[in-house]
Amino acid sequence: MIRYALVCEHDHEFEGWFGASSDFDDQSARGLVECPMCGSKAVRKQIMAPAVAGTKRTTPDLPPQMRNMMMEMAQKVRSHVEENFDYVGDAFAAEARAIHEGRSEQRDIYGEASPVEVKKLVDDGVPVAPLPGAPRKKAELN
C-alpha cells in the first residue's frame, strides 16, 4: 500500500491509501477520489517527505470533529460492506483471485487474508483494499 498526502481545490488536506502508484491516477481519472471534507473531486497529490522513524511526534492531533467524522465514515464503509458484500472468510485471497481471473462469478466480497496473501494479490493486479476495523466495545477501551 502507498500513502499519499492529498489536497483538494479548497486546500483541505487529507491522506489516501492506494495499492500501487498508478492507482491514484486511475481512480482520480474515473472520479473516484474526493475530498472527505467538501466532496470536491479536484484532488491532487502533495509533495511528501519520506517517513523516517523517530521518537519526536511530527504531526499534530486531528481536531476532534474531524477525527469523529473520519471514524463515522469508516464505520459507514464497514457497515455498507457487511450489508452488501459476500463474506468469504479465510478463503478471501483464493476467491478474489478466482473472480479476477474469471473462474468465479463477478461479485463484491470481503474476508480475511494474511499480509503475504494480500501482497501477492496486489502484485498480480487483483484489486483489494483493507476494510476499516470494527469499533471497539467500551469494555475494551481504557
The CA angle 13-128-60, to the nearest 5 degrees, is 25
pLDDT at 142 over 60: no
State pLDDT tens for residues 32-81: 999 888 889 999 998 766 666 666 666 667 788 888 888 888 889 989 99
The amino acid sitting at 94 is A
Please give the pLDDT value at position 137: 64
In angstroms, rounded to a whole number, what is the distance separating the alpha carbons of residues 13 and 105? 39
pLDDT at 83 over 90: yes
Q: What is the pTM of this model?
A: 0.53
Tell me the percentage of the chain whose pLDDT exceeds 70: 85
Please give the pLDDT value at position 9: 92
State pLDDT tens for residues 39-48: 899 999 987 6
Please give the pLDDT value at position 8: 92
All structural domains of the chain with their residue ranges: 1-47, 63-128
Cα-atom radius of gyration of the chain, to the nearest Å? 17
In angstroms, rounded to a whole number, what is the distance separating the alpha carbons of residues 16 and 8? 12
For 112, other C-beta atoms within 10 Å of its C-beta total 13
Element (H, E) at 14: strand 13-18
